[in-house]
Chains A and B, each alone.
Chain A
Amino acid sequence: MLNDEAKMLKRVPLFAGLSPAKLKLLAFTSERVMYRAGEVLFHQGDPGDAAYVILSGRAAILADTEKGPIQVAEVDDNAIVGEIAILCGATRSASVQATTAVEALRIGKDEFLKLLTDFPEMTVEVVRVLAERLTRTTAELTEARSRIRAAGVPV
């Protein structure tokens, strides 16, 4: 139900800072979808039109290679996949396939962006999360660089 879905969304870092009412609205504008084991949520190369929050079940993230798709990771409850797609219009960089029965919330790109424009406080919250990620990534990058430099390789 919406309340449960809102609680699940709360555990997704990108939405963690949103108020309960907004989480509920986000849940409502999303679509609750089910996949059986083996069904594909989206294919690599598809236009990215939605993010998926896994409510139950497990899904494999697959990358196409010359030798066929190989699994690069597995996700389960509360994981969000394809979230970059709803912020910018990139194509899918990997495929996602259900390994067990999967129940997920499909957050459509258009609906999500509409919510962001209607509620600036939501935007601020999402930007804050993204900025934190960026800070962390930058910090990791700096650390990696200094480690490489310490090893005497010119950067």
Chain B
Amino acid sequence: MEPNLSRYIWRYTSRQQIFILIIVALSMVPYFMSFNLPKQIVNGPIQGVGFETADATQVFMRLSIDLPLLGQVLLFPGIPLERLGMLFALSGVFLALVIVNGLFKFYINTYKGRLGERLLRRIRFELIDRILRFPPAAFKRMKGAEVASMVKDEVEPMGGFAGDAFVTPALLGGQAATALAFIFVQSVPLGFLTAIIVAVQALLIPRLRRRLLILGRERQLTARQLAGRVSEIVDGIHTIRAYDTSNYERAEIASRLGRIFKIRYDIYQWKFMVKFINNFLASVTPFLFYSVGGWLALNGKLDVGQLVAVIAAYKDLPGPLKELIDWDQARQDVQVKYATVVGQFAVEPMIDPAVQVLSTDDTGAQFTPPLATQSLGVTDDGGAAVLERVSLSFAPGETVALVGNGASGADVLAEALARVTWPTQGRVVAGEVDVATLPDAVLGRTLTYVAADSYLLPGTILDNLLYGLKHAPLRPPEYEGAGIEQRQWEISEARRAGNPDHDPTGDWIDYAAAGVPGPEGMHRAVMDALEIAGLTKDALDLALRSVVDPALYGDLAPRIVDLRQALRETLIERDLDGLVVPFEPLAYNPEATVLENLLFGTATGPALQPDAIGQNPWFRQVLAEQGLTDALTTLGQGIATTAIELFGDLPPDHPVFQQLTAITSADLPAFQALLTRLESAGVAAATEADRQTLIRLSFDYIEPRLRFGLLDAGLTERIVAFRRAFHEGLPPALSDAIELYQPDRFIASASLLDNMLFGRITQKYRDGAERIYQTVGALLPSMGLLDRVLGIGLDFQVGTAGRRLSLVQRQRLTLARAVLRRSAYFVFNRPLSALDPRGQDLTTRAVLQHLAARDPAPAVVWVLANAALAPLFDRIVVFDKGHVAQDGTHATLLEKGGIFKELTSA
């Protein structure tokens, strides 16, 4: 990138800069006209010059110009006006000039702003474009937050400066030069004097400011490092807490902030000192005029009139000069910022832009097999050779296992094949072409690389699965009406700022790269990839646990409701019906809470939430009518009594408190006091507050879980009776606050599984939940719902770097993303390291089997974490200390013995 900001700005905005300069020059005309006008108004109509008689008139707006040869040309003869008429006419012209000046200013500022913002967009894009082209080694030293703060914050002032980069010096310089020239005209010696002082100012002040620039650079660096440190704290938070080093971090941050404070304070001191000197120099000039000019005048070398004129002219000099010096300060400031940022982004060797050029063509033919290495060597950052003189060739369709212990170099070879690591000696070739020169559009589609830590992007599981297919915008979206205009604006603006105008909202998915004809075939391919990577069950579990908005999934809701009956029958068939207690409108469900049984629905609004419902008038009214107020108070009393009996003398951190959700150890004394009050007066006489507390306590009670023996048949019958009364007279205001359980209706606020079961899984059987999951999983395909439900699982958001998934799920997902692609070469670099040996075995087999069934079968290079799986491959290459130790089929290697035998027998 151009290291000089001014030149950079000029290169991309020269035409606009010249245009705005012309506009600025034009704007000077009304500006200077408006200067003279107040004097005319005061002298003319107000003080009466030219209106000496009562009916005197003056000509208004007479326009004429003197032209050579033609003499005076009259453009507008003018209108004769009386004194008052003249006053209003001139005032009107004044107002018009004010408006014209304002409009000029408005236009100029908007124009400069737009110019600056476009330039900012260009710089930012160029920086990010460079990140995308950095060599792999650069990322080992780079901190994401520091780079982000450069792109986001540090280049920001450049946009603001770009508009002023040329206009301001031209304007102010012009003004200052005019003033200086005027002084020269009046008196040459005083002119020289002024010029000398101005020169001193112009030379000295920037010199003094050099220190400010150094400080400014330091401020920028320390602020950037602070951003880096903050992100390190976020990334390392678990280690920091686990090792009790949070105070070390606090101390480090505090001292860093201290350093930043010192730098900033220094900047203030210097800034104001420079300002002081600047002001002083500006005032020295009039001092010299008075003293030297006065002396000259006294000696008769200068006449007094001239001196007064010089002093008057000088009045116009310091303003522009000061602003010019300020502008220069701003220029140097952004120039320094710009230079440091550009320096940071000048990483060599940068990947050639041609390598990453976008291509919508089928690029498979540009790749000539075999993929091979020619005396490949890789040296790590510490200078140790991790791979030495490796020459291997991988034929199309061949499956090769790379085995070796931890530091054997097999993983580095896989990285080198995928260009994740660049060779220090030798090269990786496709046919005879060095892969370093192959465009991404060729290698990135012909070769699929998966590592143990491949990155997942924030988004859904499906987004991540399809990510590997988004090479180019193949089908632009269709726009209508205002959308077309918006899109055209986006395109033209992008071009003006040197950005690409590809539409990210279009369909980027390369269906052919997934081996399917179009969007309709994609679903099947995704499901297959999930199955091969062993993710189907995870996706199903995620789906069953999620709460879905039925409106987003078409006729899913009624079909889930239909499933309820089928599921019930299947459970009976499998003799598992005892595992689920279904919701029945006329029966108490012992596995659900008391509140759930009362409402027979889920509270969806705030009014009926457990903590608020006690205050709801309708709820209280029905409770009283059904004679449940006292009954629930007594239930609460029973719970509190038993809880105190059981846990009264337990230490507060005892795990049993976790089983009681409504009572913590801190609450016990309050409940003890409440019970004592109640004992003396009886439940009927309890205060309102005590009653509320106890009723609230009764809400969460589930008899089979707590087994306090407090629910009898009479109470459960009354609770069921309450339901009907509560629902029948439900005030309209509450109709949105609750979603009723109805056997033939989908419950939008419950999970998918709850909707299928329409009941609660009993606590009695230890593995009840797991068996239910199995049964549901087996039932869904026969109901034709498996794919739809899995689709919901695929809509699960994976979070930052996929952290909402387990490590095993992440590795399986990156594998599924890879097998979705139809590439000629697959390079797997210990992709399943987090799985147990059995899982590795099953998944590796499934992947190999799937890939072998393709036509033509791709070549597979697999770095095995577990050498025991090597017999699954056509060929085995054994690595030891960066060298190829053995190379052959499983049978030949076994015969030879040596390292391979050691690895497999260990």
Across the interface, name the chain A residue whose C-beta is closest to B711: A1
Q: Which residues of B sit under 8 angstroms from A5, Cβ to Cβ?
A: 707
Q: How far is the CB of A71 from chain B (nearest CB, A)?
A: 23
Instruction: Give bound CA distance, A94 to B389, whole Å.
Output: 58
Q: Does A3 contact B (CB under 8 A)?
A: yes
Q: Given A3-B709, A27-B707, is A32 in contact with B646 using a C-beta cutoff of 8 Å?
A: no
Q: Does B854 contact A (CB under 8 A)?
A: no
Q: Does A33 contact B (CB under 8 A)?
A: yes
Q: Which listed residue (B642, B647, B651, B655) contacts A111, Cβ 8 A?
A: B655
Against A, the Cβ 8 Å flags (1 = close, 0 = not) of B640-653 are 00100111001100
A32 and B654 contact, CB distance less than 8 A = no
Instruction: Give bound CA distance, A36 to B767, whole Å.
Output: 12
B764 and A21 contact, CB distance less than 8 A = no
Q: Does B766 contact A (CB under 8 A)?
A: yes
A34 and B709 contact, CB distance less than 8 A = no
B766 and A25 contact, CB distance less than 8 A = no
Q: Does B280 contact A (CB under 8 A)?
A: no
Q: Which residues of A sit under 8 angstroms from B650, Cβ to Cβ?
A: 25, 118
B764 and A28 contact, CB distance less than 8 A = no
Across the interface, name the chain A residue whose C-beta is closest to B651: A118
Across the interface, name the chain B residue whose C-beta is closest to A33: B766
Against A, the Cβ 8 Å flags (1 = close, 0 = not) of B750-779 are 000000000000011110000000000000
Q: How far is the CB of B252 from chain A (nearest CB, A)?
A: 39
Q: How far is the CB of A116 from chain B (nearest CB, A)?
A: 13
Total interface residues on B, CB under 8 Å, equals: 20
A29 and B765 contact, CB distance less than 8 A = no
Q: How far is the CB of B489 from chain A (nearest CB, A)?
A: 65
Against A, the Cβ 8 Å flags (1 = close, 0 = not) of B138-159 are 0000000000000000000000
Q: Does B484 contact A (CB under 8 A)?
A: no
Q: Which residues of B sit under 8 angstroms from A25, Cβ to Cβ?
A: 646-647, 650, 656
Q: Which residues of B sit under 8 angstroms from A21, Cβ to Cβ?
A: 645-646
Q: Does B708 contact A (CB under 8 A)?
A: yes
Q: Which listed residue (B642, B647, B655, B707) contacts A114, Cβ 8 A?
A: B655
A34 and B765 contact, CB distance less than 8 A = yes
B642 and A32 contact, CB distance less than 8 A = no
A34 and B708 contact, CB distance less than 8 A = no
Instruction: Give bound CA distance, A25 to B656, whole Å.
Output: 9
B764 and A32 contact, CB distance less than 8 A = yes
Q: Does B610 contact A (CB under 8 A)?
A: no
Across the interface, name the chain B residue whose C-beta is closest to A41: B766
A29 and B709 contact, CB distance less than 8 A = no
Q: Given A24-B646, A33-B766, is A2 in contact with B655 using a C-beta cutoff of 8 Å?
A: no
Q: Which residues of A sit under 8 angstroms from B642, Cβ to Cβ?
A: 2
Instruction: Give bound CA distance, A39 to B647, whole Å.
Output: 34
B645 and A24 contact, CB distance less than 8 A = yes
Instruction: Give bound CA distance, A1 to B647, whole Å.
Output: 17
Q: How far is the CB of A118 from chain B (nearest CB, A)?
A: 6
Across the interface, name the chain A residue whose C-beta is closest to B650: A118
Q: Does B606 contact A (CB under 8 A)?
A: no
Q: How far is the CB of B892 from chain A (nearest CB, A)?
A: 39
Q: Which residues of B sit under 8 angstroms from A28, Cβ to Cβ?
A: 646, 656, 659, 706-707
Instruction: Give bound CA distance, A88 to B659, whole Å.
Output: 25
B656 and A29 contact, CB distance less than 8 A = yes
- Residue of A3, A5, A25 with most chain B CB atoms under a 10 A cut-off: A25
B765 and A2 contact, CB distance less than 8 A = no
B764 and A2 contact, CB distance less than 8 A = no
**Residues of A20-77 contacting chain B, CB below 8 A:** 21, 24-25, 27-29, 31-36
A114 and B654 contact, CB distance less than 8 A = yes
Q: Which residues of A sit under 8 angstroms from B706, Cβ to Cβ?
A: 28
B651 and A32 contact, CB distance less than 8 A = no
Across the interface, name the chain B residue whose C-beta is closest to A117: B651
B707 and A1 contact, CB distance less than 8 A = yes
Q: How far is the CB of B825 from chain A (nearest CB, A)?
A: 45
Q: Which residues of B sit under 8 angstroms from A110, Cβ to Cβ?
A: 655
Q: Which residues of B sit under 8 angstroms from A111, Cβ to Cβ?
A: 655-656
Across the interface, name the chain B residue whose C-beta is closest to A111: B655
Instruction: Give bound CA distance, A3 to B656, whole Å.
Output: 17
Q: How far is the CB of A48 from chain B (nearest CB, A)?
A: 16
Instruction: Give bound CA distance, A77 to B575, whole Å.
Output: 25
Across the interface, name the chain B residue whose C-beta is closest to A2: B707
Q: Does B704 contact A (CB under 8 A)?
A: yes
Q: How far is the CB of A77 from chain B (nearest CB, A)?
A: 18
B655 and A33 contact, CB distance less than 8 A = no
Q: Is chain B's binding surface mostly helix, strand, loop or mixed?
A: loop
Instruction: Give bound CA distance, A94 to B763, whole Å.
Output: 26
- Residue of A2, A28, A110, A111 with most chain B CB atoms under a 10 A cut-off: A28
Q: How far is the CB of A106 from chain B (nearest CB, A)?
A: 8
Q: Which residues of A sit under 8 angstroms from B654, Cβ to Cβ?
A: 114, 118
**Residues of B679-697 contacting chain A, CB below 8 A:** none
Q: How far is the CB of B320 from chain A (nearest CB, A)?
A: 82
Q: How far is the CB of B194 from chain A (nearest CB, A)?
A: 91
Instruction: Give bound CA distance, A5 to B704, whole Å.
Output: 13
Q: How far is the CB of A22 from chain B (nearest CB, A)?
A: 10
Instruction: Give bound CA distance, A118 to B642, whole Å.
Output: 19
Instruction: Give bound CA distance, A145 to B58, whole Å.
Output: 146
Instruction: Give bound CA distance, A114 to B764, whole Å.
Output: 24
Q: Which residues of A sit under 8 angstroms from B651, Cβ to Cβ?
A: 118
Instruction: Give bound CA distance, A25 to B649, whole Å.
Output: 11
Q: How far is the CB of B335 from chain A (nearest CB, A)?
A: 67
Instruction: Give bound CA distance, A118 to B654, whole Å.
Output: 9
Q: How far is the CB of A121 from chain B (nearest CB, A)?
A: 11
Q: How far is the CB of B388 from chain A (nearest CB, A)?
A: 47
Across the interface, name the chain B residue whose C-beta is closest to A1: B709
Across the interface, name the chain A residue whose C-beta is closest to B704: A32
Q: How far is the CB of B574 from chain A (nearest CB, A)?
A: 12
Instruction: Give bound CA distance, A21 to B641, whole Å.
Output: 13
Q: Which residues of B sit under 8 angstroms from A114, Cβ to Cβ?
A: 654-655
Against B, the Cβ 8 Å flags (1 = close, 0 = not) of A94-116 are 00000000000010001100100
Q: How far is the CB of A74 from chain B (nearest CB, A)?
A: 22
Against B, the Cβ 8 Å flags (1 = close, 0 = not) of A113-154 are 010001000000000000000000000000000000000000
- Residue of B647, B651, B654 with most chain A CB atoms under a 10 A cut-off: B654
Instruction: Give bound CA distance, A111 to B656, whole Å.
Output: 8
Q: Which listed residue (B575, B647, B709) contacts A2, Cβ 8 A?
A: B709
Q: Which residues of A sit under 8 angstroms from B704, Cβ to Cβ?
A: 32
Q: Which residues of B sit under 8 angstroms from A1, Cβ to Cβ?
A: 707-709
**Residues of B693-727 contacting chain A, CB below 8 A:** 704, 706-709
Q: Which residues of B sit under 8 angstroms from A118, Cβ to Cβ?
A: 650-651, 654
Q: Which residues of A sit under 8 angstroms from B709, Cβ to Cβ?
A: 1-4
B766 and A32 contact, CB distance less than 8 A = no
- Residue of B575, B707, B709, B763 with most chain A CB atoms under a 10 A cut-off: B707
Q: Which residues of A sit under 8 angstroms from B646, Cβ to Cβ?
A: 21, 24-25, 28
- Residue of A1, A5, A36 with most chain B CB atoms under a 10 A cut-off: A1
Q: Which residues of B sit under 8 angstroms from A34, Cβ to Cβ?
A: 764-765
Instruction: Give bound CA distance, A111 to B650, whole Å.
Output: 13
Q: Which residues of A sit under 8 angstroms from B645, Cβ to Cβ?
A: 21, 24
Instruction: Give bound CA distance, A110 to B763, whole Å.
Output: 20
Q: Which residues of A sit under 8 angstroms from B656, Cβ to Cβ?
A: 25, 28-29, 111
Instruction: Give bound CA distance, A50 to B330, whole Å.
Output: 75
Q: Which residues of B sit under 8 angstroms from A27, Cβ to Cβ?
A: 707
Instruction: Give bound CA distance, A110 to B654, whole Å.
Output: 12
Complex A-B, nearest 9 residue pairs according to Cβ-Cβ distance, in ascending order? A1-B709, A34-B764, A2-B707, A25-B646, A1-B707, A33-B766, A29-B656, A28-B646, A34-B765
A–B Cβ pairs within 8 angstroms, 26 of them: A1-B709, A2-B642, A2-B707, A2-B708, A2-B709, A4-B709, A5-B707, A25-B646, A25-B647, A28-B646, A28-B659, A28-B706, A28-B707, A31-B766, A32-B707, A32-B764, A33-B764, A33-B765, A33-B766, A34-B764, A34-B765, A35-B765, A36-B575, A111-B655, A111-B656, A118-B650
Extra A-B contacts (15), CB below 8 Å, given A28-B656, A28-B659: A1-B707, A1-B708, A3-B709, A4-B709, A24-B645, A25-B650, A25-B656, A31-B766, A32-B707, A32-B763, A33-B764, A34-B765, A106-B766, A114-B655, A118-B654
